[in-house]
């Protein structure tokens, strides 16, 4: 029987789901899958891109763990594609590769002053508070008023972490250095700015509700933002999710804190709708001092137009959560405009001709861009895997498809890779660190320490 030796680069949900779907697919060939991950631990953005106080993420992690723990997928963690292993290496040892490397960079925002001191990408902030081993462990939070640009789940996640009291995060897996910085934060007001209205937001009802549950944090909304046009009213009437969001916001309009009328909490989280960022103002040293934004209004076609009215909100720091952006991979075509690998339904396309490249596939955010939730990732992987199965005639013919070849290759290059047993060791170690303090776990952050624990060294 024909055997497919498949490499998957990226061990987040997209890569793990692709492996699981393929192994469950009815097919006429055997499958052997190796999963490569540049971090020493799996799960990608589920571990390093979601705020630690999200209990529902545990369910996602458990589902991913169940797939890996079956034992029919090999993991090679702490292996950097393009350095430790290359596309040419994969062609020598596999029939095909699926890239599922996601998108971890912040998308850019082209307005004056956006690169000022104290202006940050929210993705960098998220990586910091999630203990990502490849980002600096230091972070400074300054001033009482900070801003957040964006109306998606990442914007609300990051804004919630800035507004939340650090002690309320202690039951989670928050790293100790993150707790210390948040504990000493001077922030009293977090301002979230969105270009569109309340009926056009990108975040989910769950994310919004969580804001209202924060201890000693008042939600502040503004009556002027709720003059709905016909399209907004139609969205509220026809879309259950929009209806729930509107219900939550309308409830907040009844609170004492509406229009800054004076709640009792020590911190406030302001939602500013119809606010298009125009300029970041700075002082003589280049530090953020304010955000200038233009009031917008509905254009009747689902978009917005400017009103010409400019407003200014004093700020000491500004974070932008206007989307993630993919990173190019050595030897792999890349669409620099959209931050994805060019593809047709997961079949990777050549940059110069748009011809399908045999044996090369993509799934997840590196395939379609940073949109959609976990459920979309599953259907996305199904599409890619379907093409992979049907493309059997164009698979690579590897020189050495033996399963022993990859460990030997990595060993020859002195790569200290981690495997599934190593992840179990690290997982158990982190849980044990948290137990004395009644916490779910305490993450190990330094990469070299993660590797040593995983390898039992």
Binding residues for NADP(+): 151-154, 195-196, 207, 372
Q: How many CB atoms sit inside 10 A of residue 140's CB?
A: 9
Burial class of residue 162 in the structure, from the number of CB atoms within 10 Å of its CB (0-12 exposed, 13-18 middle, 19+ buried): buried
Q: How many CB atoms sit inside 10 A of residue 246's CB?
A: 22
Q: Give the helix/strand (H/E) hosting 290.
A: strand 288-298
User: Tokens for 14?
Assistant: 């997209």
Alpha helices for 262-412 (secondary structure H): 365-368, 374-390, 405-412
Alpha-carbon gap, residue 59 to 212, rounded angstroms: 23
Alpha-carbon gap, residue 243 to 447, rounded angstroms: 44
Query: Which residue ranges are tagged as binding site?
Result: 14, 37, 45, 151-154, 195-196, 207, 365, 372-374
Q: How far is CA 119 from CA 107, 172, 187, 290, in A?
A: 13, 27, 15, 11
* Angle at alpha carbon of residue 317, lines to 316 and 322, rounded to 5°: 145
Query: Which residue ranges are tagged as binding site for FAD?
Result: 14, 37, 45, 365, 372-374
User: Tokens for 285?
Assistant: 């040293």
Three-state SS annotation for 90-117: HHHHCCEEEECCCCCEECCCCCCCCCCE
Alpha-carbon gap, residue 336 to 329, rounded angstroms: 11
Q: Is-contact 171 439, C-beta < 8 A?
A: yes
Specify the DSSP class assigned to residue 56. Answer: T
Tokens 């590769």 found at: 97
Q: How many CB atoms sit inside 10 A of residue 30's CB?
A: 10
């Amino acid at each position: 029987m024909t055997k497919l030796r498949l490499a998957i680069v990226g061990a987040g949900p997209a890569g793990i789901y692709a492996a699981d779907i393929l192994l469950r697919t009815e097919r006429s060939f055997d499958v052997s899958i190796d999963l490569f991950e540049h971090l020493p631990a799996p799960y990608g953005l589920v571990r390093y891109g979601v705020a630690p106080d999200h209990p529902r993420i545990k369910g996602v992690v458990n589902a991913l763990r169940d797939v890996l723990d079956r034992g029919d997928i090999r993991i090679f963690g702490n292996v950097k594609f393009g350095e430790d292993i290359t596309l040419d290496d994969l062609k020598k040892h596999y029939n095909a590769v699926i890239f599922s490397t996601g998108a971890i960079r912040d998308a850019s925002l082209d307005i004056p002053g956006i690169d000022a001191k104290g202006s940050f990408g929210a993705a960098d902030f998220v990586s910091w508070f999630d203990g990502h081993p490849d980002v600096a462990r230091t972070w400074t939070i300054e001033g009482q008023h900070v801003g957040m640009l964006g109306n998606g789940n990442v914007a609300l996640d990051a804004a919630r972490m800035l507004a939340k009291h650090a002690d309320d995060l202690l039951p989670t897996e928050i790293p100790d250095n993150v707790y210390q910085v948040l504990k000493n934060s001077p922030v009293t007001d977090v301002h979230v700015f969105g270009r569109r209205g309340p009926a056009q937001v990108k975040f989910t009802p769950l994310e919004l509700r969580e804001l209202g549950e924060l201890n000693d944090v008042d939600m502040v909304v503004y009556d002027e933002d709720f003059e709905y046009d016909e399209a907004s009213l139609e969205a509220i009437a026809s879309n259950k999710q929009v209806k729930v969001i509107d219900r939550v916001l309308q409830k907040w309009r009844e609170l004492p804190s509406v229009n800054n009328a004076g709640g009792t909490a020590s911190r406030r989280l302001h939602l500013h709708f119809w606010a298009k960022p125009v300029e970041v103002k700075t002082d003589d040293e280049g530090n953020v001092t304010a955000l200038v934004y233009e009031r917008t209004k509905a254009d009747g076609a689902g978009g917005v137009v400017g009103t010409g009215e400019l407003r200014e909100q004093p700020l000491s720091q500004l974070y932008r959560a206007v989307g993630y952006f993919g990173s190019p991979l050595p030897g792999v075509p890349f669409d620099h405009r959209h931050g994805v690998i060019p593809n047709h339904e997961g079949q990777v396309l050549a940059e110069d001709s748009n011809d399908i490249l045999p044996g090369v596939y993509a799934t997840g955010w590196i395939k379609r861009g940073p949109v959609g939730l976990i459920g979309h990732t599953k259907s996305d992987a199904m599409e890619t895997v379907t093409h992979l199965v049907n493309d059997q005639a164009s698979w690579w013919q590897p020189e050495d498809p033996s399963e022993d070849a990859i460990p030997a290759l990595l060993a020859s290059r002195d790569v200290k890779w981690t495997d599934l047993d190593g992840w179990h060791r690290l997982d158990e170690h982190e849980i044990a660190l948290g137990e004395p303090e009644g916490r779910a776990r305490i993450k190990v952050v330094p990469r070299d320490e993660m590797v040593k624990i995983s390898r039992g060294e």
